[in-house]
Homo-oligomer: A and B are copies of this chain.
Amino acid sequence: MEKVYDVILARNPPRGRAFINRIAGALPLFLLALGTTDTAKIPSISAAGATPEITDFTPPADAELLYYGRCRCISGVPITPEGIPTPALITRSALRLAGMPSIVAVGGLRVAPSIPFINLGGLPGMDIKTGCAVKDAAEVLEKATIAGDHLTRNSDYVVVGESAPGGTTTALGVLVSMGYDAWGKVSSSMPRNPHKLKRSVVETALTSACLREGSLRNDPLKAISCVGDSMMPAAAGLILGAARNVPVIMAGGTQMAALLAIVNSMNPALAGNLAIGTTRWLIEDGTSDLIGLVSQIADIPVLAADMNFSKSRFAGLQAYERGVVKEGAGAGGSAIAAMAWSHGRITGDALLHEMEAGYESLVGLGKQGER
């Protein structure tokens, strides 16, 4: 596929190229939206934590890693049950190499991060099987929109990432309730994508909320409220507020397709300022279909950071080449921003080297994944 720097133009290459040209040389603000959903605690649904219960700590730990190079609410870093470390390590490396400023916004968490963060007044997300996933979506979205506006009036552009374990299942819920053909198309951090389990959870959720596929085509707020997660109103608001002012890289995998559906439904005029930025692992994933999802929603470019960890010194990083984890904490989008800011001087390999240095010092810090 066509590339600019180490950025793959994965969907609509002409518009992808034009987007890269708009942002090249500019230093963005990186915004990370955090949220949780108790859906992540359904066994075998998420690998964003060593155990289901510990997924509550993954978003704050990711955010702490960005600021301090180490986590505070857990020792080590968030890992999958197999011990593969969080993609926030990639984000941290991209932010460091480019000197990129970052601000974290909390949509609703069970564990607060030990960093300065934007409080949007939201509660943690409930299991979508209840049909009542997010209690305060409208209020959080309103506040996040204000924050997205104010934070970007002085910026050239922004990158908006997410950390929300269980988030691909809630993404599936939102996409399906809004009428998109998303069954079997969302991604997974697990070695095997549990599509059957996700479908069953979303079907239960829709039934509990008295919804059918497509019944919320024009009501994205209700889709978040019934079958979404607490990251969504935060990230959607940030994007809605920011994209009025500046270009926005929506940094993530198939969760960003759900956010695109929400944002596009609320303000379709913003599409010209949007691109999705992800990783090569995500777009090469045979068990999900980000491009197919985006194409149903809005004709925006999809960009993918070309990183290759096969020669890493660390088995935990090599595992990314087997398609586990793949994306999260804005890894792909922040990598793309670092590449574009440096006009390609920061390569996928440079990010790996920076990451290995940071990871090395972390591995010495304590046993991973334990509190």
Is residue A151 contacting chain B, with contact meaning CB distance below 8 A? yes
Residues on B with C-beta less than 8 A from A29 are 154
Give the complex CA separation of A178 and B152 in angstroms.
39
Contact check, A117 vs B115: say whether CB atoms are below 8 A apart: no
Contact check, B114 vs A151: say whether CB atoms are below 8 A apart: no
Contact check, A151 vs B27: say whether CB atoms are below 8 A apart: no
Contact check, B119 vs A143: say whether CB atoms are below 8 A apart: no
Is residue A366 contacting chain B, with contact meaning CB distance below 8 A? no
Give the complex CA separation of A244 and B153 in angstroms.
21
Most B-side CB within 10 Å, residue of A67, A99, A101:
A101
Contact check, A116 vs B146: say whether CB atoms are below 8 A apart: yes
Residues on B with C-beta less than 8 A from A67 are 146
Contact check, A146 vs B103: say whether CB atoms are below 8 A apart: no
Residues facing B in A146-160 (CB within 8 A) are 146-147, 149-156
Is residue A261 contacting chain B, with contact meaning CB distance below 8 A? no
In this complex, what residue of B is CB-closest to A120? B116
Contact check, B103 vs A114: say whether CB atoms are below 8 A apart: no
Is residue A286 contacting chain B, with contact meaning CB distance below 8 A? no
Is residue A324 contacting chain B, with contact meaning CB distance below 8 A? no
Give the complex CA separation of A42 and B366 in angstroms.
49
CB-contact partner of A27 in B105, B121, B154, under 8 A = B154
Contact with B along A90-107 (1 / 0, CB 8 A): 000000000111110110
Give the complex CA separation of A18 and B147 in angstroms.
32
Is residue A350 contacting chain B, with contact meaning CB distance below 8 A? no
Give the complex CA separation of A115 and B121 in angstroms.
8
- How near does chain B come to A156, taking the closest CB pair, in angstroms? 7
Is residue A266 contacting chain B, with contact meaning CB distance below 8 A? no
- How near does chain B come to A311, taking the closest CB pair, in angstroms? 33
Contact check, B103 vs A151: say whether CB atoms are below 8 A apart: yes
Contact with B along A116-143 (1 / 0, CB 8 A): 1111110000000000000000000001
Given A114-B121, A118-B118, A119-B119, A101–B27 Cβ distance below 8 Å? no
Residues on B with C-beta less than 8 A from A209 are none
- How near does chain B come to A213, taking the closest CB pair, in angstroms? 34
Residues on B with C-beta less than 8 A from A149 are 101
Is residue A24 contacting chain B, with contact meaning CB distance below 8 A? no
Is residue A88 contacting chain B, with contact meaning CB distance below 8 A? no
Contact check, B156 vs A115: say whether CB atoms are below 8 A apart: no
Given A67-B146, A146-B67, A153–B101 Cβ distance below 8 Å? yes
In this complex, what residue of B is CB-closest to A237? B116
Give the complex CA separation of A120 and B119 in angstroms.
10
CB-contact partner of A99 in B27, B100, B153, under 8 A = B153
Most B-side CB within 10 Å, residue of A29, A117, A144:
A117
- How near does chain B come to A296, taking the closest CB pair, in angstroms? 31
Contact check, B150 vs A102: say whether CB atoms are below 8 A apart: yes
Task: List 9 tightest A-B contacts by C-beta distance, closest first.
Answer: A116-B147, A101-B153, A101-B150, A119-B119, A116-B143, A154-B155, A116-B118, A154-B154, A116-B120
Q: Which residues of A contact B (CB under 8 A)?
A: 27, 29, 67, 99-103, 105-106, 112, 114-121, 143-144, 146-147, 149-156
11 pairs of residues in contact across A and B, judged by CB atoms under 8 Å: A27-B154, A67-B146, A101-B154, A103-B147, A103-B150, A115-B143, A116-B119, A116-B144, A116-B147, A117-B118, A154-B156
Q: A29-B154, A154-B156 are in contact. List 13 more A-B contacts (CB 8 A).
A: A101-B149, A101-B150, A101-B154, A105-B116, A112-B119, A112-B121, A115-B146, A116-B146, A116-B147, A117-B118, A118-B118, A119-B119, A154-B154
